[in-house]
Every structure is written in C-alpha cells, then in structure tokens.
Structure 1
Amino acid sequence: MKKRTIHIIIAWVTVCLLAACSSTRKLPPGEALYTGADVKIEGPSLGHKEKKNIKNELEALTRPLPNKKILGVPFKLLMYNLAGNPKKEKSIMGWLKYKVGEPPVLASDVNIEWNVKVLQSTMENRGYFKAAVQGDSILKNKKAKVVYAVQTGNRYAINKIMFDKDSSVLQKTINASSAKTLLKTGSYFDLETIKAERERIDADLKEKGFYYFDPDYLIIRADSTIGNNAVDLDVKIKPGTPQMARQVYTINDVYIFPGYRLSAEKADTLKSDAEYYKGYYVVDKRKTYKPQMFAQSMQFNPGDVYNRTDHNQSISRLVNLGVFKFVKNRFEPVKNSDSAQLNTYYYLTSLPRKSLRADINANTKSNNLTGSGITIGWRNRNTFRGGELLSVNATAGFEIQFSGQLKGFNTYRGGLETKLTFPRFLIPFVSLNTRSGFVPKTNMLLAYDILTKEKLYTMNSFRGEFGYAWKETVNKEHQLNPISINYVQPIRVTPLYESNAFNNPTLQKAIEKQFIIGSNYNYNYNELTGNNGLKGFYFNGNADLSGNIAGLITGANTLNGKPKTIFGAQFSQYVKLETDLRYYVKLSSKNTWANRLIVGFGYPYGNSTELPFIKQFFVGGNNSIRAFRSRSLGPGTYKDMNTVNFIPDQSGDIKLEFNTELRAKLFSIVHGAIFADAGNIWLYRGNTDKPGGKFSSSFMKELGVGTGVGLRFDVSFLVLRLDVAFPLRKPWLPEPERWVIDGIKFGSGAWRRDNLVFNLGIGYPF
C-alpha cells in the first residue's frame, strides 16, 4: 500500500513538472505566462481572519484571471498547447484546442494601474478611507505574477445617522420608517449597506403610494471630517426630485383585456366596450371569460392607495390562473386631474384552450427489473369560461426482468385519471379568498388503475377526491381533501400465488380487498424557496383519517367481533400521521450537507387491526435506506425467509428513518456523495405470523443501518444518480451479532454478492 502511494505521488509530481515546462514553451517571443495576483494586506488592528477575507475578496476582483488549474495543473492550457495548430476547427485537435483547451493568459494582458484603482475604490467603499494600494510585477522563468501591497489604514465607523426634518409628506413617510434603517450607529461604513438602505426606503414608499419614487432620488451624504475615524451620515431627498415622485397615488379605473394579442399596437379602453364588474372594466368582446373569474385575482379596488404588494400579487394571481401565456401591466396617471390618480391596465394573452402532450420514461432497478411508461395527457383550459382546467391523463407501463429469479414475472400497469380544477374555493353559501400571490383552487378527481403481475394476480382500483389547495406564501402550501375514497380489489389470482400465499400473511395482505373512505390534509413548508441557498429547512406533514363516520354508524370493532363491510367490502378505519423534515447546509460553493428525518405513525382501530396495505409504510430502495432493497427491511426484527420467486414486500404501521449525505461537485457535471442511512418499520399490534415485528421500547436496537457512496451526473434538467451501498447493521440477526462491520470484505465475491446494493435513480434521493 505504501509503495502504491509513493508511485502515485511520483507520477503526479512528474505530470506537474511536465505541465510546468509545456505551459511556457509555446509563448510568443518576449511574453510571460500570467500566474495570478497576490494581495498582501497590512493594517492596524486587523486580525488574521479579517486579513484573509480582505485578501480573498481583492484577489477575486483583479483582472484577468490566470489559467484554471486542477490539482495544481493548468489542464486546459496543457490541452491547448498539445493540440498545436489544427487546420480545421471541427477536427479532433480543433475540438481539443478550442472546446477543451484554453489559451495562455499573458502578462501583457494585465493592466496593473486599472487593478490598483479597482482595489483602492473597493477599500474606500468598505470604509477604509485612507487605504493605499500599490502594484508591482515579478518575472521569473517566463512566468509573471503581480503583487499588490495594500495599506488599509483605520476603518471608519458610523457615528450618527440623521434623517432630514422638512414637513413634506414624502419626508415624513421616510422618517416614519427610520426605526427600520439598515444603518446602525457603531457599525462600519459600507457602501453596499448604504445602497441597500436606499432600496429599503424605496420599497417602503412603494407600499405607501409613492408609485413614481426611485432610489436615485435619495442621497446619503457621508461626513468623514469629524475625526476619531468616524463618519456622520445624512439621509436626504435630492433637491431635483420631480413632483410626481413626491405624491401619493390612488387607483382610479381598472381595465382588464383578457384577449390581448402581443402584435396589437394598443388595446381599446373605451368604457362603452367594457363590462363593469365589482369595480373592474373587463374588455372581452368575444365573451371568452366570465368577469367573475378576475375577482379572485385582482387586489386593487378603485380608490385604494397604490402599493407594490397588491401590484405584484395581482400579476402573480393572473399568471397562476393557468390560462394566460403572458401578463402585462401598465399604470398611467389620470390626465387633467387635480388629485394624483392612476388608471390601471392588465393585458392578458391567452394560452391555447386545448392541448395534447405525451411523456415517455424508462427505468431500471437494483433487482434487474427494466421498464418503461407512457402518459398521454389532454387539457382543456377555461372549460366553463371561469378559468377551470379539465385534464385527462392515460398511462401505461411495464417492468420486465429478462434473466434471474424474477424472469417471466413481468408487471404491466394502466390507468385513466380525470381532474377538474376551479381557480377558487367552492364552498356552498360561503365566499372565501386568500391574500397571497396564489389563487386558491378546488380539485375534483376520478381515476381508475389496473395492475397485472404476470403469473401472479391482477388488481384494479378506483379513486375519487374532492378538496382544496392554496398557498399561504411562496414557502407555505396547504392541501385539504375532505373527501377521499379508494377502492382496491383483486380480479384475478393465479394458483401459483394462492399456494405461496396460503402460509404467508404478507402475500395475503398484498391482494386483500380494501375500501378506504376518509379525509386527508397536507402541509408543506420549504425554506429553501427564495432564500440565499446557504441553509434551510424543508417540512412536509400529512394527516390521513379513514372510516370515522362509517365506524360510528356501524359500531365496528374487530376486537369484539367480525369486521363490518360496505358494499361487501371491509372498510378501513385508522389515523395516519407522517412528517418529512429536511435540513440543508451549503458548506462551500461545491459542498452541501443534506439531512432527512422521517417519522410515520399509523393507528388502526375499530374496523382494522392494521393499516390497509396501500397506506402502510415501507423502507429500503434507492430513495430510502439504500443498503437494503426496496421493501425488504422489517417490520422490526422480522425477516421473511419463506418467500420464493417473489419481490420482498414488507410493510408496517410505524416508520422511523434518518438519512445524512455529504454532496460535492467533483468536476464538470459530475458530483459525488458519501451517505449513511438508518431506519426500520414496525407493526402497531403484534402479529404471530411476523414475530419481532411489533413496536416496543427497544426500537432503537432494531434499526437497520447502511452506508455507501454515489455519483450524480447533473445536466441541469436531469440528474442521473448511481449509488452503491452496503449494510452496517442487520436488525434480524441476534442482538449481539447485528453490527456486521467486522464482516466487511470488499475482496470477497460472496460478500459483495450478498451485501452490495446498486441503486440507479433519477434526481436526488431527498
């Protein structure tokens, strides 16, 4: 091992030396290769960390940047020189030189004087008013670098912030928000903070009706002559600010043009051609849309004081109706008016009313199943002239294993789903709306699915839902389905499956008839939306209730008698709760640490002893605990050793799962990952057919644990993922033997065959 390491080091040093020689060999006469800038910082009371931060910031500002290096080697420059002078740009050597390669950055390309001015200005903008910068080049062996010496001097701090005291409405409005100022006494002077303060004041004024105000109408004077390395700031309105920018504007008339064409020169604004509805003039000669549909979107009413929030939310809501391709907005001052008023115009370009689309996908799984699927979807926008969306999707797919244990056990799927969405709450006798930038929606869904597992069984299912979806903010989303019905039944079971299921409760449960009638609610909070991407939480919570009313009516209680039925099928009765909590930290520009915790709890009662199979939890697979195959882990310490010729299909009422993954960009589109997963599932009540499956106080000792590494190929619109994992802890083994770290043998073919699990997936696991 030591010899191999030494050989690698020697080989890499040789590559570096060859690269160093070849990088300057083809330079023009009298030229030198520019290797970069070195900024040296000197200043009073500067700590090591502060010096390093200033140094990194200033070096990044110098231009040009030197040739890029990979592990110390200018690889692109090396390829550029290696390609020589190809005659054709589209040849292999042309591709190597012009696509892969990079021309040398020459010392003559560096303008030291210009860089000195940039660094000097940057230091002054950071409050180092007495900073001095000098630059000088150093030439050695046809390589040149530039050293910039920076004497920072003392950094100036803010002594006092003064807002003007004139009696104008504009100045009084500015002063009213002065408590929210970003400028703080004692903080260091920083030009970026001053710019941000101007933007803050402008945003506040826009909320108070000052439509024509602009940040450039503000001036913040800095007085650095007061001594003691301090500065006074004076916030003022520029004397030349126009009268329009000093006035508070209210909304006059609101015009909506739902049939606007981008090619049109202008839109007709005659009130005689418009239909008046609740304060809005809708100009729609073809009567394509009902005026009522805009009431959910428009946030402005005549007489309201203009504010940017209502401005943006109105546009956002019109876009989110899903029936308009483009939304344009214009405000125009009312002519010959003594008061400051705005006429408001919305120009809406419609999407095609009907559309047809098709999606095709392919997949492969770690159990050697390969398959494909197709979805054909038809959409009818504005179905009833109120912005309604009717969609019909037909799906078909298959999974086949050409060799191995599951050869011939092919799977075929098909389905038809119809969904009607209304861009408003449909609640009898109640008129509700939301105040966010998203239109609330009412959804109605009917669907039929059929699943055929060749040589085993055929199942069909019917689904129906009625519910509401709305966004509280861009980060918070709710979905409530007061009515959710799911009916599943087998229509064909083969003798082969029946014979195997006779003594196997898991196989019996997979084909049992299920009738679920209840309600569900989902809440999603995504802190990563719209933030700086450095860190953030993601939370998804589900509550699912079933059989409550039916249970009360029938008095169902399986513990005291036979289960009750509806239309000949036993209905399920349960409460199911599930949370998915994630936390992401961006450690650097190339490294991210991602974590996930899933907790699920199902309580079967009344007419059920376990959750219905399609509602139970499972673990394992390429988006779960990757060291174990899908649905093969648990429940608890139970291990099914009797199933032959069937895919493992273990499920439970309780779930606990934790995942952590360190992601790093390696090069180009290639990313790497190191991960660890842990978790298991359990049954709420004991089952004699699954010993060890019941949840108990010893659940932490029953967790399966695995680890592994992976590659991700990120091509922006698609992430292809390959993970390889192996178990560290197997919960079905006797307790003293569950940790199997000592048994890891990568050199053993038998160990690799029994423990290595390859997962191929699309997208990140979480």
Structure 2
Amino acid sequence: MKKNSTKILAFILIAIFICACNAVKRVPDGKNLLTENDILVNGKSSNDEEASNQMYQKPNSHILGYKLRLNLYNMAKLNPDSSYQAKFKNNPGKYERMSKILSAKQVDRLGQSFWYKGWHEFLKSTGEAPVIVDTSKVKKSLLRLKFYYFNNGYFNVKTDYSIDSTGFKRARVNYNITTGPGYILDTIRRKIATPALDSLYLTSKDPSFLKSGNQYKKSDFEDEKNRISTYFRNHGAYFFQPTYVTFDIDTIGKKNKADVDLIVKNNTIQEKDSSRTEPFKLYTISDVNIYTDYSPANAKNKITDSTTYNNFNLYSYNKLKYKPRAITDAVFITKGGSFADFRTTLSSRYLSNLKIFNYPSIQYEVDKRDPNGESLIANVYLSPRKKYSFGASFDVTHSNIQDFGIEYSLSETIRNVFNRAETLEISTRLNIGSSKDMANPNNNFFNVSEYGFDMKLNFPRVLLPFGTEKIIPKSMIPSTIMAVGFSKQRNIGLDKENFTGGLSYLWTPKRLNSVKFDLLNAQYVRNLNPDNYFNVYTSSYNSLNDIAKTYNTVPTNVDTAGNLIIEDGTTGFTNDVLTGQTDLVPTDNDYQEVESIEERRMRLTENDFILASSYTFTKTTKKDLADNNFYLFKTKIETAGSLLSLISVAGGLPKNANGNYEIFNLEYSEYIKTEFDYIKHWDFGKEKVLAVRTLFGIAIPFGNSDYIPFSRSYFGGGSNDIRAWQPYDLGPGSTGSVNDFNEANMKILLSGEFRFKIAGDVKGALFADAGNIWNVLDNVTDEKARFSGLSDLQEIALGTGFGLRYDLSFFVIRLDMGFKTYNPAHEAGDRWFKEYNFGHSVLNFGINYPF
C-alpha cells in the first residue's frame, strides 16, 4: 500500500510539473504569462470586484487553480494546414502512395477533416490563448483605475504599477493605488429654473441619493438624476429628460469636502436654425384615442366604426369587434388626468397581458386646441393578433416518475371569445417515457405512457357577481381562469385517470409580487389497476410474504415456490390474519405489520376526491433572467373538504360505516396544508453564484380524513430535492426507506449550491442538501416515521456532491452526483460517511437549475 501511495504521489507531481510547463508553451521568448493582477490600495491588497473589472487584461481562467482552457489551447496545432502539408514535403513518396489508395482529391480533403484540422480548431475555440503581459494595456488599466477611484470621491488619487516575475515566463502586475482622503458632501443646494418644477420637487417623498455627510460617489449623482426625472415625468413634465439635471461640484476652500449645486435648467426648444428656452409645462390629458385594429397597411384608411365609452374614444378601420370596457379597463391614461410615465407603462403591460394584441404603441401629441399648450392627446395603437392560432411542441422531459420522457402536444388558442378579450386554450398531449422504478417485464425502454386533454378559459378581470375594484383594483392586472383537464397514465404504478377542474384568480399587488387564489380546485383520482399493488410496491409484498411463510395455512394462497399469489393470495392471507384465522393475535409484531401493510394498501389504492381552496403569495426581487443577486419567497395555504363537510352537516347527511361522509360513494379528503419556500442568490461576479433554498411544509388531516392523499403528500430525494437519494427513497424519519414509494405529511429542506464557470457554456457546481420527511398528526403509528419533538431533527439527512451543467441559452442540461454524507436510516453514531462512495452515489439528470 505504501509503494502504491508513493507511485500515485509521484504521478501527481509529474502531472503538475508537465501542466506547469505546458502553460507557457505558447508564450514567446522575452514575454511573460500574466498570472495575477494585484490591486494594492494604500499598501493593502484589495478584493474590490468593480476595481478588478477595470482591467484590460485578466489572467487565464482556472478551475481550482488549474488553467484548463489554457492547456486545451496549448494542445492545439495553431496551423494544422501547414503541419499536414509538411508531412508530404518531408516525405514526397508518402503523398504518392496515399494518392494511389485514396486519390489525390481525397488526400487533400483529408487535411480538412476533423482528425487533422477540426480537432485542433475545436481545441482552439474551446480553449483560451495565453494572456501575455502588455504594458500598453497595463497603462490603460491604470488610467481606468484612476477614474474609478476618482469617481468614488478620491479626488487626489495617485497611481503607479510594477511587474514582478513569478517564475519562468510568468509575471504578476501590481497596481499601486494611493487614494488620499475621500471627499465628503457638505452643503447641498438646488437651483431649479422652472417654478412649477421647484414646487413639485418639494412634494417628493422619495429620499434623495445625495445626503450631506456621505462620501462623493458618481453613481449617486446618476441615481439622483434618474430619480428627479422619473418623479417629474410621473407628474406631468412630458418633455423632461435626465439631461436637464446637472451638478456643480465646488471644492474651493474646502478640506476634503464638496458643496453641491443641483441645477435643473429650463426646457430647450429647437426652432429651425435657432433655439430658445422656456419654463417646463405640466401637461394634462385632453383626449384618449384607442385604435383597436391599427396596422401600417390601414393607417391611411378611413375610420369606419367608432364609439365613446367612459371618456375613451374607440376607433376601428373595420367593424369594432370588442366590447368597449374590455379595452378601456386595460388603459390607465385618463382624460383630465396628469401625464404620467408609469400610467403608460402600466397600460402597455395590461394590454399585452390580454394576449389578444401584439405589443401596443402609445404615443402623445400636444393638443393644438389648447391655447395654453398644456394638454396632450394620448393615442393608443393596438394591432390584433389572429383570432385562431395553432401550436405544436415537442419536449424532452424529466420528472420524479420518469427518468426520460418525450412529450408531444397540440394546442389551439381562440382569442376574444365573448368579445371582452377572453382567451380559450385547448390542448392535448401524449407522453411516452422510461422509468427504472416501474414494473417492466418485457424490458422495454419506453415502459410508461400518459395522454391528456386540457381546456383553460382566461378572463382579464375578476369574475364575481359583486364588485372588487376597491379590494383588487385594475392596476393589479387581475384575471380569472376556469380550467378543466383529464389525463390517463399507463404502466405507472396502479395506472390512473385524473380529472381536474378549478376556478382561480390571479393578480399582482406590486410589480414583483403575485397572488393566486384558487377558489375551487377539484381533483378526482381513479386507480385503474388496484390489483397491481403488490407488483408495484414490492417492499410491502416481501414483508407480507415473509410473514406468510410462517403463518399461512391456506395452500391456495401460495404458488409452487411457497410465495403468496398476487392478488388472491395476498388478499386471502391478509383477511385470515385480520379476522383471527391464523395463530397471530393483535399484540404480535407480525400482526401489527400485516395490519400496517393493509392500511397502506387501502390508502394508496382507493380513489381520491379532493375539493380544495388555496392562497399563494409570491414575492421576488429578480429583475430579469440575468439577475443572479435576488431572493424569492413563496407561501401557500390550502384547505380541502371543509366546504363539503359544512354542506354534509347542514344537510344532515348520514355517515358511512367508518364514521365519515361520502360524495358519489367516495370518502372525500379533508385537511389543511401550508408551505413556506425561500430562495436566495448571491452573485460574487465572474459567474460565481451561491444559491440557497429553504422549504418547510406540513399537511394536517382532520374531520373526514386521518391521512393525506398521496397526491398531496411530501417525498424526499430526486434531482430537485435531496440529490443523494432517489425520488421517494428517503425517510420517513429514520425508517430507512422501507417502502417503494415513501411519503409523509411534513417536510423540511435546506439546500445550498455554489455555481461556477468551467469553460465556455460548461458550468460546475458544489452542493449540499439537507432534509427529511415525517408523519405527524395522522394515522401512522411507527415511531421511526413520526415527528414527535425537536430531538427528531437528528434525522435530517445530508447529501453532498458536485454537478456539471451545459447552458443552451433557452435551457440548461444538468448532471448532479450526490453522496450520502449523513444517513439517518442507520443507527445513531453510525450515520456519518458510511455510504460516502461511488457505489452508493446517485446520478441525477435534470433540466434547468434546481432552484
């Protein structure tokens, strides 16, 4: 063992030495590879990322210190064409011999093949050329650094640089910055030429970015410009722009302090060859004209249909196809109101949200009828989308049930169904997939399938018999969705038919907040093949079969090998045990095990009817897809069955033999469920991101139920969960995954992931996932599965690992390998690192990031 360790260590050292030499392979003599930029601010190294971004040259990228892309580049032949031709110049007979075998034309083409040329082109494009220290670029970087610190208030900054050798053909550039004292803002005065704007400025409640005592920062001045411009333009100043705001900085006679004059000039009006200035005017809206079927082709045609509704003028080049309120509810620019940018933006958002128009155009013109010239006419140009549109999609999918799936869907969209901007979407889908967890006697790759039908009707308003404007104003862009759906699964567990229907309301209280209120959400799940239970849940079968080998007394219950026959044998033996026909009594552990198996079988094979209502609130600070410095908070509360119970009690309906109410001869579910989900991302720059997710969820049965339906329960494991375990393979508690599909009604999850760039579009990640599921306040009696107190937090599992991601712009392909770091299924004191090896690792395939 000692000799092997020595050999391995020697191999690693040799490999490191070869890679180190290879790094400077393409560095010319007399030049140096840039190994580091060291920014020394007042003698101390700085990690200021913004300062680092001023560099014209940065060292080659690396992964944990290894310059992968540089070494890939150095492996390539820079001129593969010349190298290929050189083979024949040095050996002329070789070309003739190859020409006889392949022909001269094929020999020439061989030089353009992937093996001779394409491979090296790939290495060059994937790799990264060595960054050579260039003093001209160093000086440019130094100048940018000087401006950077000057713009942050260091008006007396001094800069210098030095280049230090760090090895053979290697060098580090030191940027020496002596900032001097930072200048502080002292007296701040305003000089606003237009009296109306000066008065308006005093009414602003938003705090200024410029405050006496703060250090000078150029960015604060830019933010203040935009703040003032936004405020003025939202209060009538149509022609105002940020360029009208300037600042006069005075440091004369001041020691490290600066007085600031905020200057807002009058409006400049260009008239042919001359210009003049006049005070800004605050404009009001005199008319709002809406052109409902505008296009460049009919812009010069005559209006043939028009109407006026609530002070809005609606025009159409053809017959008006919309009820006026459907359009006017989406326009927030009102006659007699002040001009405001935010009303324009809000109108554009709402009109786009109707999904019956292309992106609207809203333009303003000065109303020449106003002798004071203080009125604007708002013209809203709407270009209708086609009433009918057909769509088809082909998707590759991955889920907790399917390892790989292919889905094909067809959809038809009908717009303006009832002439009030309603949208009807009808779609069908077919999915075939592969799952190693499902029964597959014929060993077919595609062993599961599903098809379905969905219909969704969207109303761009709150659809209720009473007014809701005071509670949910139209500025919150409310909508109502009625939806029905049907799906059928084959070869997935017990096979299912799933009927759904719902009535939902959506609105956005603020720009980045959203609310969804499901007034009614109905689901009926019908198991098509309940007799297949023990073929699917093999762990339950094995446990029952082991007990039967000792206590079964009926020969017809077993096959020739002595195993229980599915379904007659399993049902017969279970009935014999529970009716006292065997030697087992209720106090025996095996009796209780059979009883538990039967309770779980009954729960998972019976049909479910759920009538629920829920409220979901989501808040995020994510501005766009490129934003990697944000948080998202989502909470949901759901209650089911209470309405049906109230009706049953009020109607005096009888209870069944179990003491529960039924609807359509089926016991309905009754529970309350709540979830809290929080995601936070920190962007450290250079494509390094730390992402954290926490989740807590609990569902409590009551009244008509003593358990949670399978479709509403929690599970652990999978590509978007605790990645060291397969889906449904973790918990509950410390039970050690005794069932094939483990679920429970409470869940805790905490995940962290550090993401970084490897090369090009290839990204890497290091992650840790912790959590588990438990049963609480339901009919499960196994103490190992139940959460009884804070001491059960010791059963939180921990999985760690690494992942690779390839960014295809429109989605990310993800591979994660998780290792069981702490497994609560083992005995206490024997849970850490017992399965921390590749043999027990779990490889997860996923689409997009897990959170």
Question: In the alignment, is the contact (CA less than 8 A) between 2:76 and 2:124 conserved in 1?
Answer: no
Q: Is 1:17 the equivalent of 2:1? A: no
2:647 maps to which of 537, 553, 567? 553
Structure 1 residues 681 and 378 mapped into 2: Cα distance closer, same or farther (>3 Å)? Answer: farther
Counterpart-to-counterpart distance in 2, 1:662 and 1:761: 17
Aligned twin of 2:207:
180
AA of the residue aligned to 1:393: S
AA of the residue aligned to 2:421: G
Structure 1 residues 424 and 622 mapped into 2: Cα distance closer, same or farther (>3 Å)? Answer: same
Aligned twin of 1:276:
308
Aligned twin of 1:611:
708
Q: Is 1:471 the equivalent of 2:471? A: no
- Aligned ranges for residues 450-599 of structure 1 at < 5 Å? 450-453=488-491, 457-494=494-531, 497=534, 498=567, 504=597, 505-529=599-623, 533=627, 535-555=629-649, 561-599=658-696
1:362 maps to which of 393, 396, 404? 396
More deviation, 366-375/106-115: 106-115
- Aligned ranges for residues 378-417 of structure 1 at < 5 Å? 378-400=412-434, 406-408=440-442, 410-417=447-454
Counterpart-to-counterpart distance in 2, 1:420 and 1:709: 43
Counterpart-to-counterpart distance in 2, 1:38 and 1:661: 28
Question: In the alignment, is the contact (CA less than 8 A) between 2:267 and 2:278 conserved in 1?
Answer: no
AA of the residue aligned to 1:130: N
State the shift of 1:148 in Å. Answer: 6.2
Structure 1 residues 47 and 523 mapped into 2: Cα distance closer, same or farther (>3 Å)? Answer: farther
- Aligned ranges for residues 308-457 of structure 1 at < 5 Å? 308-339=341-372, 340-363=374-397, 370-400=404-434, 406-408=440-442, 410-432=447-469, 434=472, 439-453=477-491, 457=494
State the shift of 1:403 in Å. Answer: 10
In the superposition, the TM-score normalised over structure 2's length comes to 0.77
Q: Is 1:48 the equivalent of 2:44? A: yes
- Aligned ranges for residues 58-457 of structure 1 at < 5 Å? 60-63=53-56, 71=65, 75=70, 78-79=73-74, 82-84=77-79, 86=81, 91-92=117-118, 95-96=121-122, 99-100=125-126, 110=136, 118-133=144-159, 150-164=177-191, 168-177=195-204, 180-238=207-265, 241-242=268-269, 246-261=280-295, 263-264=296-297, 266=299, 273-284=305-316, 285-339=318-372, 340-363=374-397, 370-400=404-434, 406-408=440-442, 410-432=447-469, 434=472, 439-453=477-491, 457=494
Counterpart-to-counterpart distance in 1, 2:480 and 2:245: 46
State the shift of 1:560 in Å. Answer: 9.3
Q: Structure 1: which 5+ runs fail to align?
A: 26-30
Question: In the alignment, is the contact (CA less than 8 A) between 1:459 and 1:511 conserved in 2?
Answer: no
Structure 1 residues 192 and 702 mapped into 2: Cα distance closer, same or farther (>3 Å)? Answer: closer
Once the two structures are superposed, residues 369-425 of structure 1 have per-residue CA deviations (whole angstroms, 9 ceiling, x without a partner) of 543322222211222221111111212223345899744494332211111010111
SS at match of 2:716: coil
Counterpart-to-counterpart distance in 2, 1:256 and 1:367: 50
Structure 1 residues 375 and 706 mapped into 2: Cα distance closer, same or farther (>3 Å)? Answer: same
Counterpart-to-counterpart distance in 2, 1:386 and 1:174: 41
Counterpart-to-counterpart distance in 1, 2:719 and 2:76: 44
Once the two structures are superposed, residues 721-757 of structure 1 have per-residue CA deviations (whole angstroms, 9 ceiling, x without a partner) of 22222334444444x35x432534638xxxx2xx322
Q: Structure 2: which 5+ runs fail to align?
A: 83-110, 270-276, 535-566, 575-593
Question: In the alignment, is the contact (CA less than 8 A) between 1:23 and 1:78 conserved in 2?
Answer: no
Question: In the alignment, is the contact (CA less than 8 A) between 1:86 and 1:94 conserved in 2?
Answer: no
In the superposition, the TM-score normalised over structure 1's length comes to 0.85
Structure 1 residues 282 and 651 mapped into 2: Cα distance closer, same or farther (>3 Å)? Answer: same
Question: In the alignment, is the contact (CA less than 8 A) between 2:821 and 2:834 conserved in 1?
Answer: no
Q: Is 1:740 the equivalent of 2:831? A: yes
Question: In the alignment, is the contact (CA less than 8 A) between 2:267 and 2:279 conserved in 1?
Answer: no
Aligned twin of 2:754:
662
Q: Is 1:700 the equivalent of 2:793? A: yes
AA of the residue aligned to 2:489: L
Structure 1 residues 143 and 450 mapped into 2: Cα distance closer, same or farther (>3 Å)? Answer: closer
Structure 1 residues 315 and 82 mapped into 2: Cα distance closer, same or farther (>3 Å)? Answer: same
Counterpart-to-counterpart distance in 1, 2:24 and 2:517: 65
- Aligned ranges for residues 719-758 of structure 1 at < 5 Å? 719-734=812-827, 736=828, 739-741=830-832, 743-744=834-835, 746=837, 752=839, 755-758=840-843
AA of the residue aligned to 1:411: V
AA of the residue aligned to 1:662: F
Q: CA RMSD, aligned part only?
A: 3.8
More deviation, 525-534/598-607: 525-534
Counterpart-to-counterpart distance in 2, 1:707 and 1:35: 35
**Number of residues of Structure 1 aligned to a counterpart in Structure 2:** 738
State the shift of 1:166 in Å. Answer: 6.1
Counterpart-to-counterpart distance in 2, 1:511 and 1:613: 10
Q: Is 1:762 the equivalent of 2:847? A: yes
Q: Is 1:673 the equivalent of 2:766? A: yes
Question: In the alignment, is the contact (CA less than 8 A) between 1:212 and 1:245 conserved in 2?
Answer: no
Structure 1 residues 716 and 5 mapped into 2: Cα distance closer, same or farther (>3 Å)? Answer: farther
Counterpart-to-counterpart distance in 1, 2:786 and 2:357: 54
State the shift of 1:352 in Å. Answer: 2.4
More deviation, 88-97/156-165: 88-97
State the shift of 1:443 in Å. Answer: 0.7
Structure 1 residues 369 and 34 mapped into 2: Cα distance closer, same or farther (>3 Å)? Answer: closer
Rg comparison, structure with higher value: 2
Structure 1 residues 492 and 305 mapped into 2: Cα distance closer, same or farther (>3 Å)? Answer: same
Structure 1 residues 102 and 662 mapped into 2: Cα distance closer, same or farther (>3 Å)? Answer: closer
AA of the residue aligned to 1:485: A
Aligned twin of 1:28:
none
State the shift of 1:295 in Å. Answer: 2.5
State the shift of 1:214 in Å. Answer: 1.2
Counterpart-to-counterpart distance in 2, 1:594 and 1:8: 33
State the shift of 1:552 in Å. Answer: 2.7
SS at match of 1:383: coil
Question: In the alignment, is the contact (CA less than 8 A) between 2:749 and 2:769 conserved in 1?
Answer: no
Counterpart-to-counterpart distance in 2, 1:404 and 1:314: 51
